[in-house]
């Protein structure tokens, strides 16, 4: 059959997500999920909301979730948009800002979905490689474009770009600077504090990592109210369902639960980093809930496959820059023991 | 602050959804929700799935839901894609098929989201007005473009385009013909039976209407496997959460529950149509769960407002073609009594 899709889509491969096995016996360290459960209040809120009211559309603005998040994060509700996971928010940003030929800037390697989304918009990527230590590439500080993405902490490196650098970028960049803070609760600082000074800054959060709710699809976008009002024109009206909205509220209301899980993961991360270093891996200092472990020059695809055969899933990216590395999610201590034994 | 979004987005108004009041005392006949609850198995499935597993991403392919739907609808799982409501599927279709200048064809008035989505893609709308009886406009049968939308039953008219017309369109049209069957369970026939013959046909379904699950955001796209493989490149990997996936399966497994609710609504619809006709309204024969009632030449905006003041929400569209009409969702019998009393 002849392809009827747009030529640009016909040529695409599409973003490939990490494997989601049905088999429950594997140790799953490949998609940066939280190994600890969500706050108990989340299930209670879902059970309460799983009523006959499911016949009704959700609140298109997600007001209660925005009001709760506004209190927790010290902003106003109109400085927040809700998303069906932060992937939905990334799509919204691309559709709002990027038309054919428009330039999108980011350092790489980073979250590979950015590139897929730019391609769909027929935009142009201006990317600059991170130096070996994954500090922010100076060449990007003078770049221009419609959007700049800073995944912070960055995936898959786990490294952190200091807030001074981001503030400087936002002050210089003509377009909108998006700080994708999917992993920020595992790090020490957030760009939310920069929003008041920089009306062209947008910060993305997800409930998939620190809040242990990858299965619910909840993301938040923070930014200037005028900017968000424009972006919301490309939002699906009912993009977040009733149960996701109440789950998000419940998760925020037990913020301490999330912080305790994060503290456990950070402790395990330190142990994992040391253990990998002892086994001869180069490990970048991680500020996320995963670790990038490298054996310079040695393709790690066979190692990933051997780990898989022994029931441990980790992520390998078959690109020149990352072929000699494994990205390993920080699981529970017993899961990390199993990984280390299998290595 | 200067606008930084794409000029085309800056000019847009964005789709305006029907009002979703927090006040529970209103009679809500404005967004075509089902007045009856979802199947009891849905809440049971949600409660069972609201476990610690919410920390894990959903199955990106929604395999179990696709397998269940494939059995129910007599297709194979690779002839189905899952969506975060059918609005998500509409976005995917636009992003897959419509680039700048590409033509999208549909009769109007119809679901106004189509136009918003074409605008975001910088596509061009080729629309032809329905004749007064809302039969399919002959002028569209020779039209060409990348996509054609046939909302069937059509919103807001409630009218039905016969399958022979759709088969003929699919055979002639060069691009892809999308039959948006959001309301089809309230009608007599479905274009699913045409899929095997027409590889350029796509059928959309939603769980928001007949299955009483507007709050869960579940949609299905049916089409040729090769076509869906291409479209899935623009799908968010995790577009449907874990609870929506199990809710969809549970709803399909109690198909008879949905059919009973539909039978009640169809009976009430007949009564509503007669009662409106007696009150001097022109009512098109509806095959959906709503009725378009018209007083030719009389603006119905004040009537909508008066109904609102007496606690009954109905939909009014402030366009020349629809200003003299109200779109009224078929509620329960007591709700319809309340509407008729208020009228």
Any B CB within 8 A of A98 CB: yes
Complete domains list, chain A, with CATH: 2-38+256-342 (3.90.1150.10), 40-254 (3.40.640.10)
CA angle B252, B254, B259 (to 5 degrees): 95
Interchain CB contact of A73 with B (< 8 Å):
no
- Here the tokens at position A205 are 């959060």
| Residue A245 pLDDT level (bands cut at 50, 70, 90) | very high
Look at B58 and A217 and tell me if their CB atoms are within 8 Å: yes
Per-residue confidence (pLDDT) for residue A20, from 0 to 100: 75
* Rounded alpha-carbon distances, angstroms, from residue B317 to B55, B110, B279, B288: 42, 11, 21, 18
Query: Looking at the partner chain, which of A20, A42, A60 has a beta carbon nearest the beta carbon of B20?
Result: A60
* pLDDT at position B18: 73
Tokens coding B110 = 């119809």
Structure tokens at A234: 């490309």
Interface check for B175 against chain A (CB to CB < 8 A): the answer is yes
Strands A27-29 and A312-314: parallel
> Are A215 and B5 a contacting pair at CB < 8 A?
no
Contact B236, A85 (CB under 8 A): yes
Per the CB < 8 A criterion, the answer to whether A286 and A325 are in contact is no
Non-local CB neighbours of A184 within 8 Å, separated by 6+ positions: A152, A153, A190, A205
| pLDDT given for residue B295 in this prediction | 96
Q: Do B215 and A3 touch (CB under 8 A)?
A: no
* Cβ–Cβ below 8 Å for A55 and B37: yes
Helices vs strands, H then E, count in chain B: 11, 12
Are residues A134 and A91 in contact, defined by beta-carbon separation less than 8 angstroms? no
B131 contacts B110 by C-beta, under 8 angstroms: no
Query: Count of alpha carbons within 13 Å of B179, Cβ hemisphere only?
Result: 30
Q: What gap in Å lies between CA B343 and CA B337, rounded to an integer?
A: 10
Half-sphere exposure of A159 (CA within 13 A, CB side): 20
Cβ contacts from A onto B, under 8 A: 249
Can you give the length of chain B in residues? 343
Q: Is A277 on the interface with B (CB under 8 A)?
A: no
- In A146-165, the residues whose Cβ lies within 8 Å of chain B are 146
**Whether B96 contacts chain A with CB within 8 A:** yes
Q: Which residues in chain B have their CB less than 8 angstroms from residue A34's CB?
A: 55
Bridge partners (DSSP) listed for residue A106: A127
Q: Is the CB of residue B3 less than 8 Å away from at least one CB of chain A?
A: yes
Q: Which of A20, A50, A232 sits opposite B46 (nearest CB)?
A: A50
Contact between chains at A42 and B54 (C-beta distance less than 8 A): yes
Identify which of A6, A176, A231 has the shortest CB distance to residue B97: A6
**Residues of chain B contacting A59 with CB distance shorter than 8 Å:** 20, 22
Separation CA A225–CA A66 (nearest Å)? 13
Q: Checking DSSP bridges between strand B282-283 and strand B103-108, what pairing results, if any?
A: unpaired
Tell me, yes or no, if B238 comes closer than 8 A to chain A by beta carbon: yes
Query: What pLDDT does residue A332 have?
Result: 98
A interface mutation test: which of B22, B44, B63, B217 has the most A CBs within 10 A?
A: B217
Residue with tokens 């009976």: B267
pLDDT value, residue B94: 98
- Tell how many helices (H) and how many strands (E) occur in chain A: 11, 12
- On whether the CB atoms of residues A203 and A177 are closer than 8 A, the answer is no
Q: Residue A68's CB: how many other CB atoms inside 10 A?
A: 20
Q: Does B20 touch chain A (CB under 8 A)?
A: yes
First-last CA distance in chain B: 46
Q: What SS3 class is residue B4?
A: coil
A251, with CB counted inside 10 A (0-12, 13-18, 19+), is buried
A59 reaches B (C-beta below 8 A): yes
Query: Model confidence over A110-140: pLDDT tens digits?
Result: 999 999 999 999 999 999 999 999 999 999 9
**CA A27 to the chain's CA centroid:** 21
Residues A258-271 have pLDDT tens digits of 999 999 999 999 99
What distance in Å separates the CA atoms of residue B169 and residue B151, rounded to the nearest whole number? 13
User: Token match 């061009």: residue?
Assistant: B124
Whether the per-residue pLDDT at A23 is higher than 80: the answer is no
User: Is A295 near chain B, with CB under 8 Å?
Assistant: no
The mean per-residue pLDDT over the stretch B58-71 comes to: 97
* Distance set, CA A31 to CA A12, A332, B96 (Å): 22, 14, 27
User: Which of B181, B160, B183 lies closest to B34 in space, CA to CA?
Assistant: B183
The alpha carbon of residue B69 and the mean position of all alpha carbons in its chain are separated, in whole angstroms, by 18
Instruction: For residue B2, name the pLDDT band (cuts at 50, 70, 90).
Output: low
Q: Are strands B103-108 and B147-151 parallel, antiparallel or unpaired?
A: parallel
B232 chain-A contacts, CB cut-off 8 A? 14
Q: What does the pLDDT look like over A191-229, one tens digit per residue?
A: 999 999 999 999 999 999 999 999 999 999 999 999 999
> CA of B339: how far to CAs of A233, A254, B66, B212, B331, in Å?
33, 43, 39, 21, 10
And the tokens for B251? 């709803």
* Cβ-defined contact of B58 to A20 (cutoff 8 Å): yes
Phi, psi of B223, deg, nearest 5: 180, -175
How do residues B164-205 score in pLDDT, each as one tens digit? Answer: 999 999 999 999 999 999 999 999 999 999 999 999 999 999
Ranges assigned E (strand) in chain B: 27-29, 80-83, 103-108, 124-129, 147-151, 176-180, 201-206, 219-223, 282-283, 290-294, 312-314, 325-329
> A28 forms bridges with which residues in the sheet?
A313
Q: Does residue A324 carry a pLDDT above 80?
A: yes
3-state secondary structure at position A293: strand
Secondary structure element (H or E) that encloses residue A127, with its range: strand A124-129
Secondary structure letter of residue B37 according to DSSP = P
Q: What is the pLDDT, as a whole number, of residue A4?
A: 85
What is the helix (H) or strand (E) element at residue B261, kind and residue range? helix B255-278
Question: Averaged over A307-312, what is the pLDDT?
Answer: 95
Measured in angstroms, the CA of A280 and the nearest CA of chain B are apart by 31
pLDDT above 90 for A290: yes
Distances (CA, A) of A47 to A250, B247, B249, B253: 12, 13, 18, 21
Give the C-alpha separation, B94 to B106, whole Å.
13
Write out chain B residues lying below 8 Å of A236, CB-based. Answer: 84-85, 87-88, 91
Do B84 and A84 count as a contact with CB atoms less than 8 A apart?
Answer: yes
CA atoms of B216 and A244, how far apart (whole Å): 9
Which chain B residue's Cα is nearest to A212?
Answer: B55
Beta bridge partners of A125: A104
Residues B159-174 pLDDT 10s? 999 999 999 999 999 9
Q: Which tokens belong to B54?
A: 């919410």
Q: Which two tokens stand for residue B304?
A: 């909508």
Distance CA B232, CA A191 (A): 33
At B282-335, the pLDDT tens digits run 999 999 999 999 999 999 999 999 999 999 999 999 999 999 999 999 999 999
Q: pTM of the full predicted structure?
A: 0.97
The rounded mean pLDDT for chain A is: 95
Question: Over chain B, what is the mean pLDDT?
Answer: 95
Helix (H) or strand (E) holding B258: helix B255-278
Residue B121 pLDDT exceeds 70:
yes
């Amino acid at each position: 059959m002849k392809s009827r899709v747009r030529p640009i889509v016909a040529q695409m491969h599409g973003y490939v997500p990490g494997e989601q096995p049905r088999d429950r016996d594997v140790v799953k360290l490949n998609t940066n999920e939280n190994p600890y459960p969500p706050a108990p209040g989340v299930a209670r809120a879902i059970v309460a909301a799983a009523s006959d009211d499911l016949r009704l559309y959700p609140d298109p603005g997600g007001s209660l979730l925005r009001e709760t998040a506004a209190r927790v994060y010290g902003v106003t509700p109109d400085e927040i948009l809700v998303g069906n996971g932060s992937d939905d928010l990334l799509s919204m940003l691309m559709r709002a800002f990027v038309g054919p030929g428009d330039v999108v800037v980011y350092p790489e390697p980073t979250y590979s979905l950015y590139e897929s989304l730019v391609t769909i918009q027929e935009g142009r990527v201006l990317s600059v490689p991170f130096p070996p230590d994954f500090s922010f590439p100076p060449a990007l500080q003078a770049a221009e474009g419609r959007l700049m993405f800073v995944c912070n902490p960055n995936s898959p490196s786990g490294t952190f770009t200091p807030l001074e650098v981001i503030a400087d970028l936002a002050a210089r960049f003509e377009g909108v600077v998006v700080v994708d803070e999917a992993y920020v609760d595992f790090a020490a600082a957030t760009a939310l504090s920069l929003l008041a000074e920089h009306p062209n800054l947008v910060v993305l959060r997800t409930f998939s990592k620190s809040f242990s709710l990858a299965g619910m699809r909840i993301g938040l976008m923070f930014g200037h109210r005028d900017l968000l009002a424009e972006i919301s024109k490309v939002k699906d009206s009912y993009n977040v369902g009733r149960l996701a909205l109440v789950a998000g509220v419940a998760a925020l209301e037990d913020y301490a639960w999330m912080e305790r899980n994060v503290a456990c993961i950070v402790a395990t991360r330190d142990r994992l980093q040391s253990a990998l270093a002892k086994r001869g891996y180069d490990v970048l200092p991680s500020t996320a809930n995963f670790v990038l472990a490298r054996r310079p020059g040695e393709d790690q695809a066979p190692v990933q496959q051997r780990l898989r055969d022994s029931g441990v899933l980790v992520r390998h990216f078959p690109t020149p820059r990352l072929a000699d590395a494994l990205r390993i999610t920080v699981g529970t201590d017993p899961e990390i023991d199993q990984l280390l034994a299998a290595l």
